[in-house]
Amino acid sequence: MSATLELVSSQRCFGGWQRRFRHASASTRCEMTFSVYLPPQAQAGARVPALYWLSGLTCTDENFSTKAGAQRAAAELGLALVIPDTSPRGAHVADAERYDLGQGAGFYLNATQAPWSEHYRMEDYIVDELPALLEAELPIGPLRAISGHSMGGHGALTLAMRHPGRYVSASAFAPIVNPADTPWGQQAFAAYLGEAREAWLAHDASQLMATVAHRLPLRVDQGGGDSFLPEQLQPDVLCAAAKAHGWALDYTLHPDYDHSYYFIASLIEAHLRFHAGHLARA
């Protein structure tokens, strides 16, 4: 193992390895921790495609790896699962007393406002630094898909739209898709990006649909029993934007499902197969 990555833990799982690493990040200027599932196909020396998973508010890199049950299907499909943390962390990193701002709530963007701008550069970290590191140090190839939940669903959709060609496909569970007009997004954007609404719209999936020329396959699943649905998530805005601007969005509302990992565990295999199909054709 290169000195660049410090192995924190390693467990055998469905013929592959669930591993956790620590490294010094140039993007966030702090130590970052992330998890990776390497399927059996990677053990034979082959480079495998990767699904990048972005978690939601208050999560770390371990929520998805321990709760979603994604490794069995990933092993069958030959997909690596790359699971970064949700923000920079550390005693020297800016934070807030509330759960939806600061550490654990990076919103997958590059902050431009003090004190957040010193460390909160999650867009650079996810899109550029982490893939370059993994593709140099692990048997992971350059074919990438991206998915996420809630705040991470926001990140998956916006990063895929903002960086054409970086990802073959994108999907999300209960994503924040209209953040410029919802409380979670407005609070985070005002803190990280300032008060100019133009800066907010560049990180809003529903708004980006009107300006991005590159159309990639999108899948979104939403629980009908999600308590955050009417105020914070607003998927109808995304669906309307997709229809207005010619995006082939695969959207399904599932009655009774809530915002929890029970919902994610119920549909994660379908998302992995969605991405595997597009990666195989890339």
Candidate list 25, 55, 65, 150, residue with the active-site label: 150
Report the distance separating Cα 104 and Cα 71, nearest Å: 24
Q: How far is CA 32 from CA 2, 91, 237, in A?
A: 16, 13, 34
Q: Based on the residue annotation, tell me whether 226 is a catalytic residue of this protein.
A: yes
Q: List, in order, residues 6 or more apart from 108 with CB less than 8 Å away.
A: 54, 122, 123, 126, 151, 152, 154, 155, 158, 159
Q: How far is CA 172 from CA 1, 20, 179, 190, 242, in A?
A: 33, 23, 15, 24, 15
Report the distance separating Cα 119 and Cα 33, nearest Å: 14
Report the distance separating Cα 117 and Cα 77, nearest Å: 39
Q: Which residue has the tokens 């495609």?
A: 49
Strand duo 170-173 + 30-38: pairing: unpaired
What is the CA angle 247-123-276, rounded to 5? 50
Q: Based on the residue annotation, tell me whether 259 is a catalytic residue of this protein.
A: yes
Candidate list 154, 203, 259, 271, residue with the active-site label: 259
Distance, first Cα to last Cα, the chain: 30
Q: Are 83 and 55 a contacting pair, CB within 8 Å?
A: yes
Candidate list 85, 204, 221, 226, residue with the active-site label: 226
Annotated catalytic sites, by residue? 150, 226, 259
